Amino acid sequence: MTHHPAGQPTLVYADAKGNITDFSSLHMAGMSGGHFLLPEKEDFIPLPEGSELFVLPGRLPVGCDPDTGEILLLEDDPYRPGNPIQAVAAFMSPAHTTILNSAYQTQDKAPRLPLFAYTAVGWYDDRFWTTAFRSDADIRQDASQFKQTVINKKTQKKLKQYKHNRLVQHLGKCCLTYACPAARNYFLGRWEAPLPTSPVCNARCIGCISLQTSGKCSATQDRIRFVPTAAEIAEIAVPHLQNAERAIVSFGQGCEGEPLLQADTIEQAIAAIRKETDRGTINLNSNASLPLAVKRLAAAGLDSLRVSLNSAQLHYHTAYYRPQNFSLTDVIESIRIMKEAGGFVSLNYFILPGVTDSVEEYSALQQLLHTSKPDRIQLRNLNMDPEWYLRSIKFHTTSPCMGMRQWLENIKQEFPQLQLGYYNPSIC
């Protein structure tokens, strides 16, 4: 049973030092595609454990007058007039999908926001509330599942055991430096383990988290600098698939480029893995740019393909991925080929309120779902400055969007067989 607030949460803001305060004279507002609105009580959940609160530099909070419903800008500290303030957003813990973004007005010369998702957050009944829903019951990346002391001990042990394996050493950095949940689960010997392979990519995504050339925004983690051998990959994958609960190994991680560009190595690795064990799921997260490479890997034993997708509309897909020698047509062909080979296909669909639930995007997604029939949609928040994204893809819509909760209802109604979640499922 989802817990909603009995009353309307109030606005929170931060002072120049980042101290966060609530202002009970204004209700919090949300943002959708650049439009401000008052969230409905059903939009709220308590801020999930493991979430972070971000202070947004150069951005003023926007709230709502409790009596008139008017949208109002809070320009300075209401308790210390004249003192500068900043807007606040929630970066939610995994398995939660955004319904409304944080509401703010960007000031001149404001720095670009880093590569995170900015969800609306407010205060009510002595706690923070955010506009989101839990999109996957799976606990694999819940904060409660990770104890740093255990992680450190088990990671150091494996790093010693696999001194010679460059990929294990790379994952050691992912685990201990970036706290990557997938790398942590590998060292803890459970659930989904990562297998990054590619230093290069055939796309130049505006919001790429492993390579940022804009100079105005830094990548959240370094890209792997080498291509591991099939033997190094199998040395990680085989014991994990043989022993882990709900075991999955996944090519295509945030710390690499496009794995399909390493199809030769991955094909050999899958063959080596399946020679040792038929347990668990071998998955590939990808921009699905190379249908023929997908065909080879499916034939080699790839079980599931996760296709990253910012939009089902060609012009927005092209504007975001800036693809080199491929297009959305190739992506859809890769889905068809993987399905034809009997594989499982997920869409890693980037959610941004105001875009995802726009009428044009919904109808394009409807068509893709009807024609390509993927098995699952992973409802992932777009980790980017919303205003930068909308400008970059030249977003335009002709009519008010339906709202993310209505969007979710429509998808469930029209595609009852389609799985909705956040993570790659273990399918074997």
Whole-angstrom distance, CA of residue 101 vs CA of residue 54: 13
Between β-strands 104-106 and 248-251, what pairing exists: parallel, antiparallel or unpaired? Answer: unpaired
Between β-strands 96-98 and 127-134, what pairing exists: parallel, antiparallel or unpaired? Answer: antiparallel
Whole-angstrom distance, CA of residue 247 vs CA of residue 235: 15
* 10, 101, 119, 210: residue in contact with ligand SF4 (rule CB under 6 A): 210
String of contacts with ligand SF4 for each residue 222-261, x by CB under 6 A: -----------------------------------xx---
CB closer to ligand SF4 out of 172 and 207: 207
- Residue 402 is a binding residue for ligand SF4 (CB under 6 A): no
In the complex, least distance from residue 345 CB atom to ligand SF4, rounded to whole angstroms: 17
**Which region among 126-134, 147-155, 207-215, 240-248 touches ligand SF4 (by CB under 6 A)?**
207-215
CB closer to ligand SF4 out of 203 and 369: 203
- Residue 205 is a binding residue for ligand SF4 (CB under 6 A): yes
In the complex, least distance from residue 308 CB atom to ligand SF4, rounded to whole angstroms: 6
Phi, psi of 37 (to 5 degrees): -155, 160
In the complex, least distance from residue 356 CB atom to ligand SF4, rounded to whole angstroms: 18
- Residue 290 is a binding residue for ligand SF4 (CB under 6 A): no
Cβ neighbours of 365 (radius 10 Å):
21
CB closer to ligand SF4 out of 210 and 358: 210
Size of the site for ligand SF4 (CB under 6 A): 10
Q: Which tokens belong to 264?
A: 């030769």
Least Cα distance to 201 among 217, 213, 189 occurs for 213
Cβ neighbours of 268 (radius 10 Å):
16
**Which region among 142-150, 173-181, 201-209, 297-305 touches ligand SF4 (by CB under 6 A)?**
201-209
By residue count, the chain amounts to 428
* 45, 103, 113, 208: residue in contact with ligand SF4 (rule CB under 6 A): 208
Q: For residue 268, give the amino acid letter.
A: Q
CB closer to ligand SF4 out of 33 and 257: 257
Phi-psi region of 394 (alpha: psi -120 to 50; beta: other; left: phi over 0): left
**Which region among 73-81, 183-191, 202-210, 338-346 touches ligand SF4 (by CB under 6 A)?**
202-210
- Residue 203 is a binding residue for ligand SF4 (CB under 6 A): yes
Beta strands across the sheet bearing 376-381? 192-195, 248-251, 281-286, 304-309, 344-351, 376-381, 419-421
Whole-angstrom distance, CA of residue 32 vs CA of residue 16: 26
Q: Which tokens belong to 241?
A: 């698939």
Contact 220, 164 (CB under 8 A): no
CB closer to ligand SF4 out of 287 and 426: 287
- Residue 201 is a binding residue for ligand SF4 (CB under 6 A): yes
The set of residues, in sequence order, having a beta carbon less than 8 Å from that of 70 and lying 6+ positions away, is: 64
**Which region among 197-205, 224-232, 236-244, 336-344 touches ligand SF4 (by CB under 6 A)?**
197-205
CB closer to ligand SF4 out of 196 and 403: 196
- Residue 216 is a binding residue for ligand SF4 (CB under 6 A): no
In the complex, least distance from residue 227 CB atom to ligand SF4, rounded to whole angstroms: 14
**Which region among 92-100, 128-136, 208-216, 396-404 touches ligand SF4 (by CB under 6 A)?**
208-216
The set of residues, in sequence order, having a beta carbon less than 8 Å from that of 212 and lying 6+ positions away, is: 115, 218, 219
* 204, 315, 391, 412: residue in contact with ligand SF4 (rule CB under 6 A): 204
CB closer to ligand SF4 out of 94 and 257: 257
Whole-angstrom distance, CA of residue 330 vs CA of residue 346: 16
CB closer to ligand SF4 out of 259 and 374: 259
Q: Which tokens belong to 272?
A: 């080596």
Looking at beta carbons, which pairs linking 222-225 to residues 24 or more positions away fall under 8 Å? 222/255, 223/199, 223/255, 223/256, 223/257, 224/170, 224/196, 224/197, 224/198, 224/199, 224/255, 224/256, 225/199
Least Cα distance to 286 among 198, 361, 226, 190 occurs for 198
In the complex, least distance from residue 2 CB atom to ligand SF4, rounded to whole angstroms: 32
Residue list 313-372, contact with ligand SF4 (CB under 6 A): none
Q: Which tokens belong to 183?
A: 């790398």
Residues that bind ligand SF4 (CB under 6 A): 201, 203-205, 208, 210-211, 257-258, 287
